[in-house]
Amino acid sequence: MADHVAPALEAILLVAEEPLPVELLSRLVGAPVNEVIELCDSLAAEYEADGRGFILARIAGGYRYQTAPEQAPYVERFVLDGQSARLSAAALETLAVVAYKQPVSRNQIASIRGVNVDGVMRTLQQRGYVDEVARDPGPGQAVLYGTTPTFLERLGLHSIDDLPPLGEFFPGPAVVEALERGLRVIEDDSEVGDSEVGDSEGSGQDADE
């Protein structure tokens, strides 16, 4: 490997504002793609072994310097102090729908969430997390939305395939069974209560008669 390649990669990545694809890095430093990947992985391992406050991460289809996860509390204190630009619960829910169902139309998102999502979608587009990616071939050719490289970058993901499976967020069979048992008890108690009220009313009528 040429001696200049590693320092060149560090310099380029240091000034980059977004993850740089390995193919672009390869052209810029004049080294084969596999050599660039090997060097970037080597640099990443070196930074981690040294306990640096930053890492070289492979996210959103490329490489980029970012702060080490364990330094997050200090970085958040610096970046977020006095700011209130966090996404609302509605925006996060909508973003999750887009991430897992993409490409998806606004009507489909609204149907899943049960509310109008026009305002939330505008916010997500303004933040750069979602964008138009295609048109539905069906009648009306509705606009279809998907997540952006910025979304991957913010979540520290290399690709959308790295999202955790939805199954991880659903309760297991034991929990479902316990919930069903609990609901059955509630329903049975309710039926007993209704029956007692009915008997009482019936007795009253008999006495009156």
Q: pLDDT, tens digit, for every residue of 128-140?
A: 899 999 998 888 7
115 in the same domain as 63: no
Strand partners, 58: 63
160 in the same domain as 100: yes
98 in the same domain as 37: no
Q: How confident is the model at residue 80 (pLDDT cuts 50, 70, 90)?
A: low
Domain that holds residue 126: 89-167
Assess if residue 80 is contained within a domain. no
The backbone torsions φ and ψ at residue 128, rounded to the nearest 5 degrees and listed phi first, read 85, 20
Residue 207 has pLDDT above 50, yes or no: no
Q: 190 or 141, which is more confident?
A: 141
pLDDT in tens, 166-202: 766 665 667 656 656 656 654 555 555 555 545 544 4
How far is 36 from 26, CA to CA, in rounded Å? 6
pLDDT value at position 82? Answer: 47
Short-list 52, 49, 40, CA closest to 12: 40
Assess if residue 23 is contained within a domain. yes
Residue 103 has pLDDT above 90, yes or no: yes
pLDDT in tens, 14-65: 988 889 999 999 999 999 999 999 999 999 999 999 999 999 999 888 999 9
pLDDT value at position 46? Answer: 94
162 in the same domain as 100: yes
- Identify the CATH number of the domain in which residue 19 sits: 1.10.10.10
134 in the same domain as 196: no
23 in the same domain as 53: yes
Short-list 59, 49, 76, CA closest to 13: 59
Largest separation between any pair of C-alpha atoms in the chain: 107
Q: What is the dihedral sign for C-alpha 8, 9, 13, 16?
A: positive
Residue 115 has pLDDT above 70, yes or no: yes
Q: Which two three-digit tokens encode residue 39? A: 């060097």
Report in angstroms the alpha-carbon separations of 170 from 29, 97, 100, 164, 165: 47, 15, 15, 12, 10
106 in the same domain as 59: no
How far is 60 from 86, CA to CA, in rounded Å? 21
pLDDT mean across residues, the chain: 81
In the listed set 27, 47, 72, which residue is the last one of a domain according to the structure?
72
Assess if residue 84 is contained within a domain. no
In the listed set 44, 72, 100, which residue is the last one of a domain according to the structure?
72
Residue 205 has pLDDT above 60, yes or no: no
pLDDT value at position 157? Answer: 86
Do residues 41 and 3 lie in contact, with contact meaning Cβ atoms separated by under 8 Å? no
Q: What is the number of domains present in the chain?
A: 3
Short-list 7, 9, 42, 3, CA closest to 26: 9
Q: What is this structure's pTM?
A: 0.51
162 in the same domain as 95: yes
145 in the same domain as 97: yes
Q: How confident is the model at residue 81 (pLDDT cuts 50, 70, 90)?
A: low
pLDDT value at position 138? Answer: 81
Q: Are strands 62-67 and 130-135 parallel, antiparallel or unpaired?
A: unpaired
Tell me the percentage of the chain whose pLDDT exceeds 90: 44
Residue 79 has pLDDT above 90, yes or no: no
Contacts of 10 (CB under 8 A, 6+ apart): 43
